[in-house]
Chain A
Amino acid sequence: MEKVDENKERAENKENEENKESKQNRETSERNRIVIPIGPQHPSLKEPSSFIITLEGEKVVDAVIGVGYVHRGIEKACESRTYIQNLYLIERVCGICSHTHSTAFCQGIEELAGITIPRRAAYIRVIVAELERLHSHLLWLGVAAHEIGFDTLFMYSWRDREKVLDVLAEICGNRVNYGINTIGGVRRDIDSEMMQDTLKMADYLEGQLKYYLDLVMTDKVLSARLVGIGKLSREDALKFGVVGPVARAAGIMDDIRIIEPYAAYDEIPVNPVTDTHADVFGRTVVRIKEMLESLEIIRYSVKNIPDGDIAVKAPRRIPAGEVISRTEAPRGENIHYIRSNGTDMPDRVRIRAPSQANWQGMRHMLQGQYLADIPITIAAIDPCYSCTDRAIVVNSESGTEIMDWQGLRQYSIEWYKKRGIDVSLVKMPERKFYA
């Protein structure tokens, strides 16, 4: 008890001293502050996003995060396309985790229409989802290594990612945006040759991944750059509601594959991967271990895939209703909300990509860091900007204001008119969609 009190006292004394010092230094320190913009265009950002960083020397005092440069209005566009067309639009929400988005969308519609997909289709969905997780995490490992100036690891992990992409192209027909999901199942069957290639790739990758895990654990320079960076403790992680590897690195098991099994995950054993480091190092370890886990899932599902059909016929018009569908994207929990009004087009689609949840803790993670650690801290949540971006009009005079589609269009025309461009005269090319 005494010791604790002593410690407390000491801490208080230290705090008081610091306060005094800070009062004296406040003027000088405020004069020494500089504000630097990282983004919208910056080599460390793979997509446009703006971080206004206030620096004191090399230390970050404050960070203002601005997202919204690549808002594409996919949710709105979904409302004017049929469900079949939307499949391919939803797949393009994210270039890396496209399969998980289309799985969530298909699952929701299948639930609305009341159809159950064949088991074989569910297994194929799982195989593609895990392959996608592999390539996404390998991509992340490369990007993270590049952000800390370790280009050799960057090239190695991207070289190995190429093997996963080859298997994906063989199974699905494309390297990204696989287009394998359809409402009621999958579009392509998996044959024995593909299974052999997948297993061969898994064997190769296992060796590589174990090497990377060993490298991250034992390389002194890597740990000097990763340990203690971007701390987000368990309490903070819960407070900010982060998901995926960021939460799992803080010891929170939020894997949807285990909590709420979808597709064939109820039959496949999935071991949870968590870590207690709660920093960038922990996130790296969690991601590499997750990849090893993915390999096990792929092996299990390739060996235990049942025979049968790969798809059932789905109706063109989906019964009215609303549904929430969750999947585990490589970056965390992915939520789709779909409302149908009984026609062949959805009434409303709402996508909450995992990056959107992870942005909330970013400012907290950046504060107190060195400038040199900003890129890796941002990269550590594996941000996907275009999935995340939303449009909201914040008018400082009249508070927040919600605009409807027509109002928004009028606003954009006037916005451009002020800058001397009259877009109302521009003839839009006629793009006809059959209802």
Chain B
Amino acid sequence: MVLKLVKILIFPGFSFLAIYGMFLEYLDRKIYARIQNRMGPPWYQPLADFLKLLGKEIIIPADSNKKMFKILPIVSLAAVASAFVYIPVFGNTSSAFFEGDLIIVLYLMTITTICMFLAGWYSRGVYATIGSVRTLTQMFAYEVPLFMALLAPALIAKTWSITGMTAFYEEHPRYILINIPALFVALISGQGKLERAPFDSPEAETEIVSGVFVEYSGRLLAFFKLSVDCELVLVASLISAIFLPIMTDIAVLDFVIYLLKTIGILIIFSLMRSIMARFRIDQVVKICWRYLTPIATVQIIINLLIRGLLTL
């Protein structure tokens, strides 16, 4: 019981998630800066930002729904943290698992997006409202290809548990290759999920200031930013757990491989962020529905056929 609590709260649970989230943010900013031929921030910058925001005054707009305004950052962070429990980090099993935890993780991931939408909606600002509407529009765009891409490998593995899938692919490493189109779709729609450039129109700085976060300040903003960082870790680890289940059965070595995998995915995310201009929201919807969803659908059909062949 105590071990389980330590696992959930400290390692590889929430504390690790927060620290690794900040580290990945630093790495992301550094890579982004170096690609742009800049120095980039020092290693402690995300932590310094977080601590500084903690000490700042909180201003709550008079028109906003104050209870929701205060609660949403915490809910968002809690949703990411609880989703992270189901992802294998140290060793090949996660802290908690059961049949169907993949679906739970996907829904918990959606909660953070919904939290952002509600945060923008309840802060009643013009920019925040537009940002929240865009957040929701974008969610409808990327959600379908992302979910289809993440669920496709589960069809072959015949399990809805991430740990189970990892175990299956460990036994049959050749099947990983089948899922490469889904990996491609997941990487792009994952970028959309994280609302990073080129899919950052919900928080486009030059258009709607910072979208849903525009009225947030102080501690509340700090928690929102932390939840965004943690979301980055969550998406990277989810993709690495589902599509790149390379395991050695030695827990420490697995952990190192996990770090390498997530950093590798982050590098792809950062590169994607730096080589493209921001898409308009209508272009985002078009890309997701016209290109990504068909690829994901084809993947699902292929996987269903393979599954049928396997059972024969």
A–B contact at 8 Å CB threshold (below):
yes
Across the interface, A149 reaches (CB within 8 A) one of B38, B127, B204, namely B204
Please indicate the chain A residues that have their CB under 8 angstroms from the CB of B280 in the complex: 225, 370, 372-373
> Which one of B37, B200, B201 lies within 8 Å of A155 (CB-CB)?
B37
Q: What residues of chain B lie closer than 8 Å to A373, measured between beta carbons?
A: 280
Residues of A within 8 A of B32 (CB): 151
| A374 close to chain B: CB less than 8 A | yes
Q: List 8 A-B contacts (CB under 8 A).
A: A43-B206, A149-B277, A151-B32, A155-B36, A156-B36, A222-B277, A224-B279, A372-B281
Q: How many contacts A-B (CB < 8 Å)?
A: 76
- B281 and A58 contact, CB distance less than 8 A: yes
Enumerate chain B residues within 8 angstroms of A43, measured Cβ to Cβ: 205-206, 209
Q: How far is the CA of A42 from the CA of B129 in the complex (A)?
A: 16
Contact B126 A152 (CB under 8 A): no
A221 lies within 8 A of B209 (CB): no
Q: Which residues of A contact B127 (CB under 8 A)?
A: 36
Query: Is B278 within 8 A of A149, CB to CB?
Result: yes
B278, A148: Cβ atoms closer than 8 Å: yes
Contacts of A139-158 to chain B: CB distance below 8 A: 145-156
B15 is an interface residue with CB less than 8 A from chain A: no
A residues apposed to B, CB below 8 Å? 34, 36-37, 42-44, 58, 145-156, 159, 221-222, 224-225, 370-375
Q: Report the nearest A residue to B210, measured CB to CB.
A: A43
Smallest beta-carbon distance B204→chain A, Å: 6
Closest residue to A42 on the B side, CB-wise? B209
Closest residue of chain B to A379, judged by CB? Answer: B206
Distance (whole angstroms) from the CB of A366 to the closest CB of chain B: 13
Closest 3 CB pairs of A and B: A149-B278, A155-B36, A150-B277
Instruction: Report A48 CB to chain B, min CB distance, Å.
Output: 15
- Known pairs A34-B126, A36-B127, A149-B198; A374 contacts B37 (CB<8 A): no
Chain B residues, CB < 8 A from A375: 206-207
Report A-chain residues with C-beta under 8 Å of the C-beta of B282: 58, 370
Whether B35 sits at the interface, judged by CB under 8 Å, is yes
- Asked if A145 and B126 make an inter-chain contact with CB atoms under 8 angstroms apart, the answer reads no
B contact residues vs A (CB 8 Å cutoff): 32, 35-38, 126-127, 129-130, 197-198, 200-201, 204-209, 274-283
Main secondary structure of the interface of B (DSSP, over half): helix
CB-CB < 8 A to B126: which residues of A?
34, 36-37
Q: In the complex, what distance in Å separates the CA atom of A340 from the CA atom of B125?
A: 53
- A181 to B118 Cα, complex, angstroms: 58
Contacts of A225 in B (CB 8 A): 277-280
User: Which residues does chain B contribute within 8 Å of A149, judged by CB atoms?
Assistant: 197-198, 200, 204-206, 277-278
Q: Beyond the given A44-B207, A152-B274, please list 5 additional residue pairs across the A-B interface where CB-CB is below 8 A.
A: A43-B206, A152-B275, A155-B38, A222-B277, A225-B279
Report A134 CB to chain B, min CB distance, Å.
19
Smallest beta-carbon distance B127→chain A, Å: 7
Q: Determine if A148 and B36 form an interchain contact, defined as CB atoms under 8 angstroms apart.
A: no
A374 touches B207 (CB 8 A): yes
* Cα-based distance from A244 to B207 in the complex (angstroms): 26
Select which of B130, B207, B279 is within 8 A of A221 by beta carbon.
B279
Please determine whether B206 and A44 come into contact, CB atoms closer than 8 angstroms: yes
Which residue of A is nearest B37, CB measured?
A159
Write the chain A residue with the least CB distance to B276: A221
Q: In the complex the two chains form, is B130's CB within 8 Å of A371's CB?
A: yes
Q: A43-B205, A44-B206 are in contact. Are A152 and B35 (CB under 8 A)?
A: yes
Q: In whole angstroms, what is the CA distance A433 to B209 when docked? A: 44
Chain B residue with the shortest CB-CB distance to A372: B280
Q: How far is the CA of A223 from the CA of B127 in the complex (A)?
A: 26
Q: Establish whether residues A150 and B130, one from each chain, have CB atoms under 8 Å apart when the complex forms.
A: no
Inter-chain CA distance A269–B206, complex, in Å, is 40
Give the docked Cα–Cα distance between A247 and B157 (Å): 62
How far is it, in angstroms, between the C-alpha of A374 and the C-alpha of B204 when the chains are bound?
A: 12
CA distance A372 to B276 in the complex (A): 16
Given contacts A36-B126, A36-B130, contact A371 B207 (CB under 8 A): yes
| A150-B276 contact in complex given A37-B126, A155-B38, C-beta closer than 8 Å | yes
Nearest CB of chain A from residue B30's CB, rounded to whole Å: 14
CB proximity of B185 to chain A, nearest CB, Å: 18
